[in-house]
Amino acid sequence: MGANLQVGGALASRRARRRSARPMSEINVTPMVDVMLVLLIIFMVTAPLLSVGIDIPQPDIPRVELPKTEAGALTPDKEPLYITIDPEGKIFLQNTEIAFDQLVPKLTAIREAGNEGAVQVHGDQSTRYENVAKVVARVSKAGFRVSLVTDQVE
């Protein structure tokens, strides 16, 4: 037979367990502050870089008079497709004139061939807004991201 030789016996060990098993009433915020300061520094460094665009050379597409806005220049991930709408409402895919009804089938075929990039729409400032809106809707229907291209206000 065994005997317990500890002072206080089983009752003392239960009391010790109860004292050590109490929940902590304080939260250590030091790691959270460290993470927040690192994030603050990252955002302070990257924010100025996001607001500055880079001018890129224009490809050989029909020239139109673009409207002027305060939007900055952006750089596309891949070489985008260019759709141009001239003052008379004619539509050009890259530098080839295309009928309005052929826009979705051509863009769908291009997307299925592996081009998942964006489409930049260059609408002349004197063309009707309706022409630009219809082209943008057709491009979106074909599954591409659409960007409207403008000139910067000087």
- The answer to whether residue 103 scores a pLDDT higher than 60 is yes
**Average pLDDT over all residues of the chain:** 76
Which percentage of the chain shows pLDDT scores above 90? 6
Q: Cα-atom radius of gyration of the chain, to the nearest Å?
A: 32
**Which amino acid does the sequence have at 98?**
I
Give the pLDDT score at 35: 93
pLDDT in tens, 62-82: 666 666 776 666 655 667 788
* CATH class, range 68-152: alpha beta
pLDDT in tens, 10-24: 555 666 566 666 676
Q: What is the mean pLDDT of residues 80-88?
A: 86
Rounded to whole angstroms, the Cα distance separating 84 from 103 reads: 12
Give the pLDDT score at 76: 56
- The answer to whether residue 54 scores a pLDDT higher than 60 is no
Give the pLDDT score at 73: 63
Rounded to whole angstroms, the Cα distance separating 70 from 144 reads: 24
Which percentage of the chain shows pLDDT scores above 70? 64
Higher pLDDT, 49 or 103: 103
Rounded to whole angstroms, the Cα distance separating 106 from 99 reads: 10
Using an 8 Å Cβ cutoff, are 119 and 108 in contact? no
Give span(s): CATH 3.30.420.270, the chain.
68-152
- The answer to whether residue 134 scores a pLDDT higher than 80 is yes
pTM: 0.52
